[in-house]
């Protein structure tokens, strides 16, 4: 499965895995907790500092892509070893750059599985998503504005995930900055 998906052209992947949004589902928190438990178990010896539910599925009440985003912060870790473990446990490495890796699970040759995960592995402290998540959770009017923007972008970028993400970047950066001012530059909340 992984080899077939990784061998597909980007346009083919976007057709098979379009951007789509759905109303918030209470089960997303349960899906996160299940995967968090699994990640803690399989990565127990890899210096994991924090595992967090991020992305729109972590923000109460807003529409989201039904994909559970998880941030894994690792301290003094061996990214090669983490890659081996995650790939060996059904994740597909989708992107890798200095100090950051992204893995997907729940992508099949026929489209999305029932439960889909994106796991973002970073060095401890590379966690801007936590600021954004908490700011939106504590400011429902901003969360509603974000939801409206995402719904507007949905059909325009249905088959262009990069375009969809890039179109949201300004909003995300603005409110992440405000959150850092409000919460301080040291994120120690869980």
Q: The CATH number of the domain where 35 resides is what?
A: 3.30.460.10
User: Measuring CA to CA, how many Å separate 34 from each of 16, 40, 57, 143, 185?
Assistant: 26, 10, 14, 25, 30
Confidence of residue 75 (pLDDT cuts 50, 70, 90): confident
How many residues comprise the chain?
Answer: 190
| Per-residue model confidence as pLDDT tens digits over 165-176 | 999 999 999 999
User: Measuring CA to CA, how many Å separate 119 from each of 84, 143, 152, 181?
Assistant: 14, 23, 26, 27
Question: Which pair of structure tokens corresponds to residue 104?
Answer: 């997907």
Domain span at 82? 2-183
Q: Is residue 190 part of a domain?
A: no
Mean pLDDT, the chain, as a whole number? 90
Confidence of residue 6 (pLDDT cuts 50, 70, 90): low
68-87: average pLDDT: 92
Q: What is the pLDDT of residue 190?
A: 42
Q: Is residue 189 part of a domain?
A: no
Q: How many domains does the chain fold into? A: 1
| Per-residue model confidence as pLDDT tens digits over 94-146 | 889 988 999 999 988 887 889 999 999 999 999 999 999 999 999 999 999 99
* Residue 96: strand pairing partners: 101
4-8: average pLDDT: 59
Q: What is the pLDDT of residue 118?
A: 96
Confidence of residue 189 (pLDDT cuts 50, 70, 90): very low
Q: Using alpha carbons only, how large is the chain's radius of gyration in Å?
A: 16
């Amino acid at each position: 499965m992984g080899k077939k998906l990784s061998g597909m052209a980007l346009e083919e992947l976007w057709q098979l895995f379009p951007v789509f949004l759905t109303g918030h589902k209470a089960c997303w928190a349960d899906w996160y907790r299940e995967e968090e438990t699994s990640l803690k178990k399989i990565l127990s010896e890899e210096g994991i500092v924090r595992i967090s539910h991020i992305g729109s599925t972590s923000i109460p009440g807003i529409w989201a892509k039904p994909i559970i985003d998880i941030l894994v912060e690792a301290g003094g870790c061996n990214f090669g070893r983490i890659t081996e473990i995650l790939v060996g446990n059904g994740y597909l490495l989708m992107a890798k750059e200095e100090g950051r890796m992204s893995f997907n699970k729940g992508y099949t040759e026929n489209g999305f599985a029932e439960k889909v995960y994106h796991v973002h592995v970073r060095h401890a402290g590379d966690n801007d998503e936590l600021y954004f998540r908490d700011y939106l959770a504590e400011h429902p009017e901003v969360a509603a504005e974000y939801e409206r923007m995402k719904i507007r972008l949905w059909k325009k970028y249905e088959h262009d995930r990069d375009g969809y993400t890039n179109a949201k970047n300004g909003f995300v950066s603005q409110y992440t900055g405000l959150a850092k001012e409000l919460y301080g530059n040291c994120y120690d909340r869980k």
